[in-house]
Every structure is written in structure tokens, then in C-alpha cells.
Amino acid sequence: MTINTQVKVNSKQQHKQLENRGCLLVKCPDKPGIVSILSTFLHNHESNIIESSQYSSDPENGMFFIRIEYHRENLLNEKEKMESDFLDIAAIHEMDYDFSYRNERKRSAIFVSKEIHCLMELLWEWQNGDLDTDIVVVISNHEDARPIVESLGIPFHYIPANKDIRKQVEEEQIRLMDKYEVDLLILARYMQILTPDFVGHFESRIINIHHSFLPAFIGAGPYERAYERGVKLIGATSHYVTNNLDEGPIIEQDVERVDHRDDVVNLKKIGRQIERRVLAKAVKWHLENRIIVEGNKTIVFH
């Protein structure tokens, strides 16, 4: 049995166990009684709340955010009625909401360039069953990652890219995203700028890892600039991609302490470790429906 086949078998077994598990994300104007309304709705639909987390931006005229995970017997047959019955509640209370179901795995594509450490971390987490997604394709403007990707039975597409052919490249990438029915696009150190047209196809569905603790050192060469500045902390930032370069809603960040002994090579080595764990966390939280985007910020229910 190949590694990829074993992953698929484990995945089917896991998702059979989760077929009665659902998740409800809600964003609405804050006012008394919202938690009661939601819990009553779930109670009336014979659902047992197993995890709940909430946040109010301001108890007076603010916004209210909540994530509720619940168990409901025979959920696959009841979910359409639940969603239909929720429409009136959502309209009355001006709710933006999303129902998701733990047995439905998102389909992910990974874009990568020459540096493959973040790709390797994602593949490792996926092989272990800790990344709840189907990695359906890897796309790169270099050939470096092909052997490891294809050894796992994942399709690999090499598409050379530069600013002169960007339109043709993105047309092909969009075609592949449609072909593989991709839900989430992960930029695992993909060193190309995406156009507004491409980003518009995947709003709040592209996660990037930036090798800097944003907003410091936006753009290229952050480790070189950090070394020149003599920083004592370096970090990495995972964020949703928008048309403003490196300024999309931040999902996760982390740092490590450094000192005057660390040259650029050492900074990059330390930085790669931070990048790997920060991107993996952000992707996991997206896959588990733990993130609500609010303007240029995120509410993340850990």
C-alpha cells in the first residue's frame, strides 16, 4: 500500500467518525440574547454543543462573533433542513454565517518556488493526518519540488512564471484550480506577485507565508534588511492575500530571539523554522473553520 493510499484510507475512517459533527460560524451586530438564540436553535434541532467560543468587539454597538461546534445524530440527512430553518433567524438578526461539516474535506492546492521547507512541513502534517485536507495539486515555477511531490502520488505542474507572461501563467493556474476543484490555495514560499484578477477569483481563500513579522520589512529581502537594522527578534506572518502586497488580514505570527552573532545565513535558517510552523497553524485553522475575516483583521478561535 502506498503512502498516499494509506492517507486516503485513514481519511475515510476519520471522516466516517465525524459525519455527525457540524460547525456554525456567525458574525452579526452585538445585542443581548444572541447566544441564547443560537443555542436554542441547535437544541430544537437535537444538536449537542461540544465547543463554543465567542468575541464581542464592543458590547455597545459592536460586532459579535461566535464559533459553535456541535454533534447531531443523522446530521447528513438533517443539515439541509437546519440550514433552511436558520434563514429567518439570520435575516432577523443581520447575521453573516457559515455552516460547515467535519466530514467534508476541503481540497487544497500548494504553490511553491525553489525553497521547499514550508511545502515539506505541510506534506508531513498531511501524511500524519494532522492536516485535514486533500492536497490535490502542487504548482511551481521551478522543478525542485517535483520528486518529493510525485513520490506521494500528488500531481505536480511546472509553470514557468515572470512578470512578462504573468497573464498567461495565471490563466493556466486558474484553469488548473477549476480542474482540481480547489477550495484553498496555499502559497508556501511562492515568490511571484499575484494580479488583482487572480486574487479576485479566490477571495479569503489564498493563504500566504511572509518571511517577516509584518508590518516590518514588507516586500523582498526582509532578512537582509533585518540584519542591517540589527534587530533582536525575527518572525514570520501568515495572512490572507489581498491586492495590497503583504497587507492582507493576518492569521498567525511568531518570533524567535536573535543577536549580533547571527548573520544573514543564520537568520534565514531560524526564519525557515518559524515560517514552517506559522503557515501550518494558519492553514489548520482555516481548514477547521476557526477564522472569521472582519475588514482587514481576523477573528481566530483557537
* Active-site annotation, residues: 246
Q: What is the 3-state secondary structure (H, E, C) of 74-128?
A: CHHHHHHHHHHHHHHHHHHCCCEEEEEECCCCEEEEEEECCCCHHHHHHHHHHHC
What residues contact 167, with CB distance under 8 A and at least 6 apart?
Answer: 195
Give the separation between CA 154 and CA 127, rounded to whole angstroms.
12
Q: Please, what is the angle between helix 222-229 and helix 264-287, to 10°?
A: 130
Let me know: does 110 contact 122? Beta carbons within 8 Å.
yes
Cross-strand pairs, 65:
27, 55
